[in-house]
Structure 1
Amino acid sequence: MTHSAPSTATPLPNGLRRDLTPPARAWLDQALAEAAQGMTPTTELRLAEAARRCGRPHADTARILILQAAHPTPADLTRVYHRGTAEERRAVLHSLPHLVAGPEALPLVEDALRTNDTRLLTAALGPYAARHLSAHLWRHAILKCLFTGVPVTGVAQLAARAHGDAELARMLADFAAERTAAGRPVPDDLHRVLALTDPEAAPPLPAPDGGGPHGKES
């Protein structure tokens, strides 16, 4: 994938511009202008400053905008992810579908799926994972969501990838049987996903982003 820095800074979404204080708007405008010159140590510093400058409610959006403006390479994203805080890692994961066309960044998704940070798990299962994560890893990610309480409503392309998946249905049934045998409740989300695996159900409509099950068995 070819990466080239844009010539102008990314404009702020109207809602974010309205919600930020004047000093925060000025800071973010400057950060985006700097990011438009490419991924530099200054850009990485701005990612770390986002919560302090913009406030926690807007920090995730600010980080994503900065990353998109910088057009980082997969190597840049890998560096930011592994050096960053959990918040910066979430921003990287949310940015992947906009910045990486191929599967080069899958190791970052796989790393996030090994954690027990529920917000990181949610970020990892976005459109990028829907397009590129293997069927085997995707199924285990769904089970991890059920085990950790991450709502499956946040999983991108859930219906498309689960449709007619007999192996996922088997894994869900085994998980439900284990919970029942241990006297523990079966999550409601398990029944929702299990219903999606029914091959007789109408196939889901394609999502606007085109994300679909392109992962291979492993």
Structure 2
Amino acid sequence: MTPDHLRTALTDRMTQEGWRWLDGACASVAADPALVGGLFPLAGRRCGRVRLDPGDPYGWTVDDAARCLLLAALPLTGTSLLERIGALYRTGDAAERRAVLRALPLLPVGEGALPLVRDALRTNDTRLIAAALGDYATDHLDADTYRQGVLKCVFTGIPLSALPGLSGRADVQLARMMAAYAHERTAAGRDVPADIGPVLALFPDVTVPGHGDLEHVPTATTDRTGPREA
């Protein structure tokens, strides 16, 4: 996502009043970055909270996109930017924290925001976990933490399709971990999440003990009902 992509995605999702507020808020934080602390929490009420894709419970919302545009308007870099977004994350509610995580690929923060990603992965908020494993984590998160994050998605019912960089970050060790999990599930007479299959398919030499591959392992396809709204 780029700011232009976000604005295009918002085209039919916001009222004229919402656009006026957002454009004014972006201009305000560009002139005075300290104002973002007061404007950031207001985005949901002023711009809306509907999903950009109504069928995707882990996808972007209008307030996600609006808050990302606010952060992208900040004329800050380096430590000053990290301190500002860190404060917004620490003091924000779940929706505000999610927006900070989604904004990271738009901001010149290098690897400096990885503590925020790791903090989100320690929570039990499924939408926060999914947002943490977005494009920024794909590019910067270390392999072991990324693998553990993907497994947490499997454990908590987050569909792996919500992770945009998984096919590029998956490795044989992750496949082995998933195969071991699938074996535990089948040994206990429980279904295996269906989206483990495509990851194992990337590494055909990795098999589920006692089953070979997932072709004949019972899989669950309808038990992921999505997160509770923030």
Question: Which TM-score band (shorter chain)?
Answer: 0.7 to 0.9
Residues 1:71 and 1:130: Cα distance change in structure 2 (over 3 Å): farther
CA 1:116–1:15: 2 relative to 1, 3 Å = closer
User: Is there any run of 5+ residues in structure 2 with no aligned partner, and where?
Assistant: 51-61, 207-230
Confirm whether residue 51 of structure 1 aligns to residue 55 of structure 2. no
Which residue does the alignment assign to 1:213? none
Amino acid corresponding to residue 96 of structure 2 in structure 1: E
- Give 2:68's aligned residue: 64
Q: Which residue of 1 aligns with 2:101?
A: 93
Partner-residue secondary structure (3-state), 2:192: coil
1:170 aligns with: 176
Partner of 2:16: 22
Tell me by how many angstroms 1:84 deviates.
0.5
Aligned to 1:137: 145
Change (3 A) 1:14 1:104: closer
Which amino acid is the alignment partner of residue 17 of structure 2? Answer: P
Distance 1:27 1:95 in 2: 19
Unmatched runs of 5 consecutive residues or more in structure 1: 1-9, 201-218
Higher RCO (C-alpha 8 Å, min separation 6): 1
Do structure 1's residue 39 and structure 2's residue 33 form an aligned pair? yes
> What corresponds to 1:181 in structure 2?
187
Contact 1:74 1:100 in 2 (8 A): no
Contact 1:39 1:70 in 2 (8 A): yes
In structure 1, C-alpha distance between the alignment counterparts of 2:185 and 2:41, rounded to whole Å: 41
CA displacement 1:116-174 (0-9 Å, x = unmatched): 11111111111110111111111111111111111111213211111xx2211221111
Cα RMSD (Å) of the superposition? 2.2
Does the 8 Å contact 1:168/1:197 carry over to 2? no
| Structure 2 Cα separation of the partners of residues 15 and 146 of structure 1 | 29
Identity of aligned residues (%): 48
| Superposed CA offset, 1:171-204 (max 9, x none) | 111111111122211000111211123489xxxx
